[in-house]
Amino acid sequence: QITLKESGPTLVKPTQTLTLTCTCSGFSVTTTGVGVGWIRQSPGKALEWLALIYWDDDKRYSPSLKNRLTITKDASKNQVVLTLTDMDPEDTATYFCAHKLDWSWFEPWGQGTLVTVSS
Instruction: By CB under 8 A, name the binding residues for other proteins.
Output: 37, 46-49, 52, 60-64, 96, 98, 101-112
Minimum Å gap between C-beta 13 and other proteins is 26
Are 59 and 70 spatial neighbours (Cβ–Cβ below 8 Å)? no
Q: Considering beta carbons, is residue 27 or 49 the nearer one to other proteins? A: 49
Minimum Å gap between C-beta 5 and other proteins is 11
Q: Considering beta carbons, is residue 84 or 110 the nearer one to other proteins? A: 110
Number of Cβ within 10 Å of residue 51's Cβ equals 23
Rounded distance between C-alpha atoms, residue 3 and residue 57, angstroms: 20
Q: Considering beta carbons, is residue 4 or 18 the nearer one to other proteins? A: 4
The residues near 28 (Cβ < 8 Å, ≥ 6 apart) are 34, 75, 78
